[in-house]
Amino acid sequence: MKLIFIGLIFVMLELNLGINILPDFVGYLLIWKGCNDFAKESPKMAAIRPVALILAGLTAVVYVMALFKLTAGLGIMGNVIEIAMVLGSLLVVYMLGKGIHEIEVQNNVELNSVAILNSWKLLAIAEVAAYAMILLGKVLPVLIMIGSVLVLASFLFKVVLLVSAYFSNKMYKEWKNPTVEE
Per-domain residue ranges for the chain?
2-176
Q: Is the pLDDT of residue 126 over 60?
A: yes
Q: What is the pTM of this model?
A: 0.92
Give the model confidence (pLDDT) of 51-62 as tens digits: 999 999 999 999
Give the model confidence (pLDDT) of 72-122 as tens digits: 778 888 888 988 999 999 999 999 999 999 999 999 999 999 999 999 999
pLDDT grade, residue 182 (50/70/90)?
A: very low
Query: What share of the chain has pLDDT > 70, as a percent?
Result: 98
Listed residue (69, 82, 74, 77) closest to 24, CA to CA: 82
